[in-house]
């Protein structure tokens, strides 16, 4: 096994394979040219700044490349397309964010910007109730128990620096199929799934991921209030006119 193959295998054990392959290509290019490369992208769902620089050859003359990685907390809008002196990243390692659609990534981005349900609803032309439902689903998928935790995830990922097109590309490249627009029409209150078809979830203030199953509906023969008015009237009349058993 060559050094490149060993390095590739090591990367793939803790990061997305596409991400690992892109970085290996960069390392090989820096080793050949000696020109440093800077990149900003997601690594396991966290925005990271990476610098690849050639070192002096070792005693055996082997070329060495140093990679320095650090969290990047200043995500300039549109940075994913490439900033001066920064090479555009094609492969991101989304980590836990890989389960989200472009729409959910867009809502998470707005949560990270400190927007309330009402403000997000106005921005997306949806009701606060619909936004709350999406926020609850985000909490379940990301195992986040509060809005603060969701905002921290969005901040660590630098989502404020991703455009709508960037989010579509992220959702498409994760291998999850069709990419949704982050501003696509969310289900309205009248269009949202009813409680029987929605995933049952605890509120975000509690423990995310625990189900709260509603009780089964009462048996029709034991619940007069479940009958229609006409049927209930007929039943009451029948109850009053039928004599008791002798």
Within-domain flag for 110: yes
Residue with token string 């690594």 = 43
Instruction: Please state, in angstroms and as integers, the Cα–Cα distance from residue 180 to each residue in 77, 107, 124, following that order.
Output: 20, 12, 14
Task: Tell me the average pLDDT of the chain.
Answer: 74
Question: Do 137 and 173 have their domain in common?
Answer: yes
Residue 185 and residue 102 in contact, taking contact as beta carbons nearer than 8 Å? no
Residue 242 lies in a domain: no
Is residue 166 scored above 60 in pLDDT?
yes
With respect to residue 38, please indicate whether it lies within any of the assigned structural domains.
yes
Residue where the block lists tokens 């029987």: 196
Instruction: Report the 10 Å Cβ neighbour count for 232.
Output: 13
pLDDT digits (tens, 9 = 90+) for 35-81: 999 998 999 999 998 999 999 888 788 888 999 998 887 666 666 66
Q: Are residues 66 and 132 in the same domain?
A: no
Residue 229 is assigned to a structural domain of this protein: no
Q: Is residue 105 part of a domain?
A: yes
In a domain, 147, yes or no: yes
**DSSP string covering 149-214:** HHHHHHHHHTGGG--HHHHHHHHHHTT-SSPPPTTSPPPPTTTS--TTTSPP---TTS-TT---PP
| Better pLDDT: 14 or 150 | 150
Residue 185 has pLDDT above 50, yes or no: no
Q: Both 185 and 106 in a single domain?
A: yes
Average pLDDT of 104-129? 95
CA distance 98 to 171: 7
Range of weakest confidence among 24-33, 55-64, 167-176, 207-216: 207-216
Specify the DSSP element, H or E, that contains 41: strand 37-43
> Is the domain of 73 the same as that of 103?
no
Place of tokens 């979830």: 201
Verify that 109 and 46 share a domain, yes or no: no
Task: Tell me, yes or no, whether 208 and 103 share the same domain.
Answer: yes
pLDDT of residue 36: 94
Element housing 66 (H / E): strand 64-71
Tell which of 81, 109, 144 closes a domain: 81
Task: Give the pLDDT of residue 96.
Answer: 94
Query: Please, which residues have CB within 8 angstroms of residue 178's CB and are 6 or more apart in sequence?
Result: 172
The residues, ordered by sequence, that sit 6+ positions from 198 with a Cβ below 8 Å of its Cβ are 133, 192
Of the residues 81, 115, 136, the one at which a domain ends: 81
Average pLDDT of the residues in 96-114: 95
| 54 lies in the same domain as 151 | no
Q: Residue 63: its pLDDT value, please?
A: 85
pLDDT tens digit sequence for 72-97: 876 666 666 666 778 888 889 999 99
Buried b (16+ CB within 10 A) or exposed e, 183-210: beebeeeeebeeeeeeeebbebeeebee
Summarised one tens digit per residue, pLDDT across range 190-233 is 444 434 334 443 333 333 334 344 444 444 443 434 444 444 44
Q: What pLDDT, on a 0 to 100 scale, did the predictor assign at position 154? A: 96
Same domain, 209 and 102: yes
* pTM attached to this predicted model: 0.65
For residues 117 and 156, membership in a common domain is answered with yes
* CA distances (Å), origin 136, targets 146, 147, 154, 209, 211: 9, 9, 15, 10, 12
87/68 Cα distance (integer angstroms): 15
For residue 3, pLDDT beyond 90: no
Number of structural domains found in the chain? 2
* Domain contains 222: no
Q: Is the pLDDT of residue 244 over 80?
A: no
| Domain extent at residue 18 | 3-81
């Amino acid at each position: 096994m060559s050094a490149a193959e060993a390095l590739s295998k090591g990367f793939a054990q803790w990061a997305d394979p596409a991400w690992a392959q892109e970085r290996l290509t960069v390392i090989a290019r820096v080793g050949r040219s000696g020109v440093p490369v800077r990149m900003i992208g997601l690594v396991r769902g966290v925005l990271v700044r990476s610098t690849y620089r050639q070192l002096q050859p070792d005693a055996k003359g082997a070329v060495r490349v140093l990679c320095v990685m650090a969290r990047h907390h200043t995500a300039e809008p549109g940075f994913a397309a490439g900033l001066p002196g920064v090479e555009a990243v094609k492969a991101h390692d989304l980590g836990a964010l890989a389960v989200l659609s472009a729409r959910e990534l867009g809502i998470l981005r707005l949560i990270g910007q400190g927007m309330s349900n009402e403000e997000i609803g106005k921005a997306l032309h949806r009701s606060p109730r619909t936004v709350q439902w999406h926020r609850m689903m985000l909490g379940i998928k990301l195992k986040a128990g509060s809005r603060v935790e969701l905002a921290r995830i969005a901040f660590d990922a630098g989502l404020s620096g991703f455009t709508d097109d960037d989010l579509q590309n992220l959702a498409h490249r994760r291998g999850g199929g069709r990419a949704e627009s982050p501003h696509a029409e969310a289900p309205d209150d009248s269009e949202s799934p009813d409680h029987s078809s929605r995933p049952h979830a605890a509120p975000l203030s509690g423990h995310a991921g625990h189900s709260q199953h509603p009780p089964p509906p009462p048996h029709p023969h034991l619940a007069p209030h479940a009958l229609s008015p006409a049927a209930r009237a007929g039943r009451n009349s029948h109850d009053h006119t039928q004599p008791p058993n002798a």
